[in-house]
Amino acid sequence: MLSPDDILSNKSQPATLGSVWNRLDPTFRSECTVEAGTWEEKSLNKWASDRIKELLTSVGSVEFSGGKAEITEVSNCVGDAFLVTVRNKKRVGYNYELTLKVRGEWNIREEKKMVKGHIDIPEFSFGELDDLQMQVRISEEKDLSKEDKLQISQDLKMFLQPVREKLLLFEQELKDR
């Protein structure tokens, strides 16, 4: 570990490129590295993105009082997933944001209406699924009233629980890797 004396002794030297760490005696640096242990990080991005898409498109349809809808596609799946090994202990983590395409059918004023939309899931990460948030965007439907759109948006938010359950399964699978 760097001591205050190590840092101060290097301040009196002329300015050079690089960190104080790099200017320390290599033997001292080596001893610190051994004490600190090893760090290895492995990207799991491809597996994670593919698995999230597979799990969320398998949610199936969700029924509401006025109709039903399903997730047809994960149109945006951006983030990172990783496995870090520190001192022979494995730790996993991820950070993602998603957009889900949805399609459904509602009974509105005794008429069946097909509605499309998107569910945006802003940034979420490992261990934070209890706080998962969703924003619903309904595709422009000219023959829907403001009240109809509000009801459909509320209905689509019922996807929160099944999506959360699939993402909890994803977390468990990630930990088991």
State the CATH number of the domain containing residue 115. Answer: 3.15.10.20
21 lies in some domain: no
28 lies in some domain: no
Counting Cα atoms < 13 Å in the Cβ hemisphere of 143 gives 8
Are 98 and 122 a contacting pair, CB within 8 Å?
A: no
Q: What average pLDDT values come out for the chain (177 residues) when binned by 10 residues?
A: 54 46 46 58 96 97 94 98 90 97 94 95 96 93 87 96 98 94
154 lies in some domain: yes
Residue 77, C-beta contacts closer than 8 angstroms, at least 6 positions apart: 49, 52, 53, 96, 98
With tokens 């149109």, the residue in question is 75
The pLDDT of residue 62 is 97
The pLDDT of residue 1 is 55
140 lies in some domain: yes
25 lies in some domain: no
Stated pTM of the model: 0.76
d(CA 118, CA 151): 15
156 lies in some domain: yes
70 lies in some domain: yes
Question: What's the number of domains the chain is made of?
Answer: 1
Are 156 and 117 a contacting pair, CB within 8 Å?
A: yes
The pLDDT of residue 5 is 59
18 lies in some domain: no
Domain range holding 101? 40-176
